[in-house]
Amino acid sequence: MRVFTTALILTIAALTAFGCAKKVKVDPYKEQQQKVLMNRGRLVQDLARPGNIHAAKIEGVALVRGLQGTGADEPPSTYQQLLLQDMIRDPDLKRTAKSQIASLNTAIALMETIVPPGARKGDRLDVGIKLLPQSEASSIQNGYVENAELYQYMAADVIRRGYKLGSVNGFVTLDPDLVEKKSPVAYKQGKIIGGAVVSRPRPVWLEIKENERSAGVAQRLEDVINKRFSYARAGYAGKKKVAEAKSGAARINLEVPEEYKDNVVRYVNVIGAISFYETEDELNERVDRLSEQLLNPETSEFAAIQLEAIGPRNAKVVDAIGRGLESPNDSARFNAAITAAYFNIRSQRQLTAKVLAEFARKNSTYRPAALATLGVCMKTSFDVDSELRDLLTEDNIETRYGAFRALWTRNPSDYMIQGENMANQFGYHCLNCGGSPYVHISQSVRPEIVLFNADQIYLRGKVDLEANPRLTIRSDDDDIVVKKYEAEDGIDEQRRVGYKVDDVVRAIVEIGGAYPDVVSFLTQAKTNKLLYAATADGSSAECPLAIDALPGSRTSHFKKVKDVQAIAEREAAKEKAEREANKPSMWSKMNPATWFAGSNDGGDDEFSLEEFDKVNAETSEESEEFELNQDE
């Protein structure tokens, strides 16, 4: 009996152990599916947050050269030591580093710039530069910087710096407004326009929330994002993915598509609005709801982002955007046009371009985003190019220059705006596009001078200007003499030209003048009321000059006067009132750190695993259709 009892106990224990082992064994695939089903009806933004989207400041110490006696032999400092360390790493500078720093033709300066999220290796950035706080140098005018380095500095007891993130080369350009106002710092700070080259890319990613992390969730996030945004690329086998799960189940790295490169905020918001999982019926119901919300001014922006997240493969989404483009409401029409531009559907290109150009022409609130979108979307559309060329004739300088910059972004060789590379220092564009003459100077993105209707712009009166202490522009009888003293070969050099501004600019460059010299000449000519333009009726008036007149920026209308087409002062006052009343543009107010508020309309119904597999199965025909839509 005892033996039987013992055997029975062992048998029961074995069966129990076998049963327990069977319970522990779980199919990983089915477990992942169950986790996905648990998140039905949620959006990507409900499970993850965008990462690395903050402003990243990088800084450096530079030796400003070519100062012609306005530099200083500074006392020893931490900045001087950092600069010396950088210089002695270069074999060509090692022996002369200390003497160069001590020269009165050089000065130590601090540099800084902001690397935007999504920046790529090779991107160019503007660099702010200024003398040390207690510097004995009097001016950095005519200075230039060679092979300076930018780092992210870390706060500590001593100055520490991380990886090299950029390098700087270029001429220092002073702020014309500060120079005109005779500010005490006017000659001690400036900007190297487009002078920094990014050394390391700055990627963006999604951080999966801690309570949501699992291999299944990470894989699903990767899949739904790539289904919406993967694209075909020359030389790449198959489709290029934009999302890749990294660091276990915690992070999804994101690649930024070209059309979103300058609007990473919108990109991460669209990704945040992608559905994590929904059935076809639920998708159709959501599209119907969003179609109605798109036409409501209070919800149109939110709805447009969600429709953009669903994508152009959905016919109902395309129809909804089409109805939005024809809406009588400005908000609905504008938001639909932005999404339509990113969709780039052939049948909607003409209307999309027309709507965005209308907002650029008439609506100061929507103008910045409208022109920026026209610059980066629908790159192969003749309709967009045509609308932008028409905008070049507008009286509003922000509209005109915004259209110019959009055309240049699309195609720098466009026949209406193509220019010249002046001595590898700046872009020079002489346009004959109609409308009133205007001079525009760029102090950001790229060194650039644009003369709208250049043939009509000239100097008038007695000219006696100094572009810098060794380069003068003076009138002599019926000519303008541009003269540079003590050139590199020790010989003075000059050019004798007519009074046309175009001729004077070319003469300055021919004798070795730099971009800051051209800027100085133009701004002084404006200050001294020497800059004029001919009007259509044969008379003349002072020619307006603007600095960085990009829509939405704090435009500097340098000594703004009446337009040569006799634009009344009331128009100038109206323009100013519009700028002051501007609300933040759609792009600037979309904060990726907060995302859009997602809706959870999933309900409590159960779904089978078989239904899950059926809903999410992708066919080769579907992929091919998407590729064709993208190439339209």
Residue 223: CB atoms within 10 Å: 16
Distance of alpha carbon 376 from alpha carbon 384, whole angstroms: 11
Give residue 440's pLDDT.
95
- The amino acid occupying position 310 is I
**Residue range 613-618: mean pLDDT, rounded:** 45
Express each pLDDT in 164-187 by its tens digit: 888 999 999 999 888 888 888 999
Distance of alpha carbon 436 from alpha carbon 433, whole angstroms: 9
Cα of 167 vs its chain's centroid, Å? 19
Compute the half-sphere exposure of residue 514: CA atoms within 13 Å on the CB side of its CA: 16
Give residue 603's pLDDT.
39
Give residue 319's pLDDT.
96
Q: What is the chain's percent helix, strand, coil content, to nearest 5? A: 40, 20, 40
Structure-token pair, residue 424:
């590898």
427 touches 447 (CB < 8 A): yes
Give residue 469's pLDDT.
86
Distance of alpha carbon 580 from alpha carbon 471, whole angstroms: 39
Please enumerate in sequence order all residues whose Cβ is within 8 A of that of 374, keeping only pairs 6 or more positions apart, or say none: 341, 353, 356, 357, 360, 384, 387, 388, 406, 410
**Residue 190 in 3-state DSSP?**
strand
- The amino acid occupying position 306 is Q
Distances (CA, A) of 82 to 101, 134, 443, 560: 12, 17, 29, 44
Helices 382-391 and 367-376: crossing angle, nearest 10°?
140
Distances (CA, A) of 234 to 121, 246, 256, 378, 624: 20, 25, 17, 19, 16
Give residue 581's pLDDT.
45
Please check the confidence at residue 553 and state whether its pLDDT lies above 80. Answer: no
Distance of alpha carbon 223 from alpha carbon 221, whole angstroms: 5
Burial track 60-75 (b if 16+ CB lie within 10 A, e otherwise): bbbbbbbbeebbbebe
Distance of alpha carbon 24 from alpha carbon 87, whole angstroms: 64
Please give the mean pLDDT across all residues of the chain. Answer: 81
Burial of 488 (0-12, 13-18, 19+ CB in 10 A): exposed
Please check the confidence at residue 623 and state whether its pLDDT lies above 50. Answer: no
Express each pLDDT in 468-525 by its tens digit: 888 999 998 889 999 998 755 566 888 999 999 999 999 999 999 999 999 999 999 9
pLDDT band of 63, cuts 50, 70, 90: very high
Structure-token pair, residue 391:
């905008």
Burial of 207 (0-12, 13-18, 19+ CB in 10 A): middle
Kindly report the backbone phi and psi dihedral angles of residue 577, in degrees, each rounded to the nearest multiple of 5, phi listed first. -60, -40
Instruction: Give the position of tokens 């905008």.
Output: 391
Distance of alpha carbon 169 from alpha carbon 167, whole angstroms: 7
Give residue 614's pLDDT.
46
Give residue 588's pLDDT.
33
**Residue range 270-287: mean pLDDT, rounded:** 91
pTM score, two decimals?
A: 0.78
Express each pLDDT in 185-229 by its tens digit: 999 999 999 999 999 888 999 999 988 888 888 989 999 999 999
CA nearest to 71, candidates 179, 143, 133, 174: 143
398 touches 428 (CB < 8 A): no
> pLDDT: is 29 or 137 the higher one?
137
Structure-token pair, residue 434:
């109609």
Give residue 580's pLDDT.
45
